[in-house]
Amino acid sequence: MVISSISTSSLTAWVNPSVASHSPRVEQASKDSAVNKDTASTDASSTSEANSSETAGPKRADGTPMAPEEIQLLEQLKQTDREVRQHEMAHQVAGGAYTGGASYDYEVGPDGKRYAVAGEVPIDYGPVPNDPQATIEKMQTVIAAAMAPADPSPKDHQVAAQARQYLLEAKLDAAMQRSEMAQARSAGATEANDDEATPGSDSPATNSPPVISSATPGANAEQQAA
């Protein structure tokens, strides 16, 4: 009779052959699977971040992401819109009752919205007829309104220059008016003294004061301040 001896390792292999012959491969396969999962997770995260970045960026009117040059143009339009509106608002605040409502020229941006790229405010800078003092006060306000923005335009300077001319003329008229009134009062006082010094006069001599007239340009004018 032949008796075979089976070692411990052989016995283990015989009892559970898959443990000894396939265990290393199973372990390696598990490692490969874990690496693949980590790589896939990383790729998915990167894709998600890229998609999120695209979603958060400016969009065109049709909802598609803008190109870099379109984004730059959009930012320029937004800045111009702010500056134009601030410019016209400065005119309106300083001009008060002598300014009207602002009007704007618009440009459509890559996002489909309208942005102001130019504007103007009407300013009444005509002198007040036959009232030099009122004209002086008005022209001072008009000049302040025309030069109110941080960067007055050539049209703003033009309006301010015309208002200064009217202001100078009104000051001359006001000075002449004051002089004529002073002369009239002086003449009246002299005549009164002469009448008192002449006895037996039936009636005091009278002398009408000269007519006071302020020759200022006629109708109010209205000019657009850009």
For 185-197, how does the pLDDT look when each residue is reduced to its tens digit (9 = 90+)?
A: 888 877 777 666 6
Q: How far apart are CA 109 and CA 73, in angstroms?
A: 8
Distances (CA, A) of 207 to 1, 89, 126, 187, 210: 172, 55, 36, 8, 9
Q: Using an 8 Å Cβ cutoff, are 84 and 51 in contact?
A: no
Burial class (CB in 10 A: 0-12, 13-18, 19+), 206: exposed
Q: Which pTM does this prediction carry?
A: 0.61
- Amino acid occupying residue 216: T
Element (H, E) at 188: helix 154-197
Residue with more model confidence, 26 or 186: 186
For 66-109, how does the pLDDT look when each residue is reduced to its tens digit (9 = 90+)?
A: 999 999 999 999 999 999 999 999 999 999 999 999 999 999 99
Q: Using an 8 Å Cβ cutoff, are 122 and 136 in contact?
A: no
Structure tokens at 202: 């039936």
pLDDT exceeds 90 at position 127: yes
pLDDT exceeds 70 at position 14: no
